[in-house]
């Protein structure tokens, strides 16, 4: 281990490497050995912190937290009339700067293992709840429908990014 590097730093390095490897190869094809190689550590050191499944769960939790934090900043700093536009801009920034996390979430939607499914369900529920509460507090008409449409547009943006088909993006 590099002098001055904490186990928390190494844990984060492993999660970052896993996001890259899982997004590139897919969860089932990727190995913890490949994650270890990408993180420049040994495979046994990966297992000190994670199983393959718990590593994916940690990566997903990180990706959902990033979205929630970005949306909370928007909610706390943008006037109500610009709330939805602020959420869109924040999500576009995440898609640009953390593309692999979004690709990982898309892959994880099809994985049936209970802990992975739970991480995806919790993450989507948390984002939905934050958006819904924000729309309600902003006095946006029919906040439930607007939340559903907002989330559906986000999913379409994900597909557009993954397939490199910008023509799928809805124009504002």
DSSP 112: -
pLDDT on residue 8: 87
Residues (pLDDT < 70) of the chain are: 1-5, 170-172
Place of tokens 């590139």: 24
Q: Give the fold, CATH level 3, of 52-168.
A: Tetracycline Repressor; domain 2 (1.10.357)
CA 159 – CA 169 distance, rounded (Å)? 9
The full set of domain ranges for the chain reads 52-168
Q: Please, what is the Cα angle at 120 between 115 and 126, to 5 degrees? A: 120
pLDDT on residue 172: 54
The reported pTM is 0.92
Q: Are 35 and 26 in contact (CB under 8 A)?
A: no
């Amino acid at each position: 281990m590099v002098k001055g590097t904490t186990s928390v730093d190494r844990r984060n390095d492993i999660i970052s490497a896993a996001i890259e490897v899982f997004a590139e190869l897919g969860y089932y094809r990727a190995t913890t050995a490949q994650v270890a190689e990408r993180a420049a550590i040994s495979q046994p050191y990966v297992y000190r912190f994670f199983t393959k499944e718990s590593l994916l769960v940690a990566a997903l939790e990180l990706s959902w937290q990033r979205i929630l934090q970005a949306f909370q900043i928007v909610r706390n700093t943008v006037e109500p009339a610009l709330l939805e536009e602020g959420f869109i801009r924040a999500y576009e920034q995440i898609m640009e700067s953390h593309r692999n996390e979004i690709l990982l979430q898309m892959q994880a939607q099809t994985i049936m293992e209970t802990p992975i499914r739970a991480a995806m369900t919790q993450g989507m529920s948390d984002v939905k709840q934050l958006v819904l509460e924000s729309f309600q507090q902003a006095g946006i008409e029919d906040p439930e429908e607007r939340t559903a449409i907002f989330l559906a547009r986000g999913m379409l943006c994900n597909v557009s990014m993954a397939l490199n088909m910008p023509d799928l993006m809805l124009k504002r």
